[in-house]
Amino acid sequence: MRTFIRQLRPALVALAVFTVLLGVVYPMLTTLIGQVAFGDKADGSLVRRDGQVVGSELIGQSFTSPQYFHSRPSAAGTGYDGAASSGSNLGPLSPDFLAAVDERVAEYRAVNGLSDDVLVPVDAVTASSSGLDPHISVANARLQAARVARVRGLEVDVVLALVGEHTDGRTFGLLGEPGVNVLMLNLALDDLSAAG
């Protein structure tokens, strides 16, 4: 029995020490470093207007009003649910997937007043792998610009200029494709309407 207690004591001490170090000290230290060095990003890159949080630059949200640019579809729960982040498990040849894409293409063309010969960008009719992507492609934004301009009573060139101003380049100048942050673009549209 003494041997067991002699072996149990260091094990319990190690458990207590590592619990404090890795369960308390390390999380507090990384949180402190994150808050000091990356305060805005550590808090979720929240976007505030008039003291109210209206969204995050990093998580997409649904916009359905014709006066706003629409986000890409989301497969995360009921749409842009961070707790249910996921893409669809449907493969590219799945009849359900193809039917959903065909339906989304028809709806996109109808909402934006596009003819049947206009190619619809893939990001306008498919969800991202996380289901939370806050960006749309530049091509998607350009196709929506005429609808947004018409509904808001703006010149298309003004709306396209805003698209250009809110286009994020490639990561590190070479990774990925340029994209347009939908929330930031829609807030800029609201600011323009309020100023005009």
The model's pLDDT over 42-87, given as tens digits with 9 standing for 90+, comes to 666 777 788 887 777 888 888 889 999 998 888 776 667 776 776 6
Say how far apart CA 180 and CA 140 lie, in whole Å. 9
Local confidence band at 40 (pLDDT 50, 70, 90 cut-offs): low
Same domain, 79 and 23: no
Same domain, 35 and 126: no
Q: At what angle do helices 138-152 and 156-165 cross, to 10 degrees?
A: 140
Same domain, 33 and 50: no
For the segment 11-21, the average pLDDT, to the nearest whole number, is 89
Domain range for 78 = 44-195
Same domain, 34 and 113: no
Quick check: pTM over 0.85?
Answer: no
| Kind and range of the H or E run holding 19 | helix 2-20
**Residue 26: pLDDT over 90:** yes
Computed over every residue of the chain, the mean pLDDT equals: 85
**Residue 136: pLDDT over 90:** yes
- Of 2-11, 80-89, 101-110, 132-141, minimum mean pLDDT range: 80-89
Same domain, 89 and 180: yes
* DSSP 8-state assignment for residue 72: P
Same domain, 85 and 129: yes
8 A C-beta contact, residue 47 and residue 183:
yes
Q: Which of 103, 134, 133, 109 is nearest to 121 (CA)?
A: 109
Using DSSP's 3-state secondary structure scheme, residue 102 falls into: helix
Local confidence band at 112 (pLDDT 50, 70, 90 cut-offs): very high
**CB contact set of 43 (below 8 Å; sequence gap of 6+):** 35
**Residue 35: pLDDT over 70:** yes
Same domain, 73 and 132: yes
Predicted pLDDT at 133: 83
Same domain, 57 and 99: yes
**Residue 19: pLDDT over 70:** yes
Q: b/e for 118-133, b at 16 or more Cβ within 10 A?
A: eebbebbbbbbebbbb
Predicted pLDDT at 196: 62
Total residue length of the chain: 196
Predicted pLDDT at 75: 76
How many domains does the chain contain in total?
2
Same domain, 56 and 114: yes
For the segment 157-162, the average pLDDT, to the nearest whole number, is 92
Predicted pLDDT at 43: 65
For the segment 81-106, the average pLDDT, to the nearest whole number, is 81
Same domain, 16 and 103: no
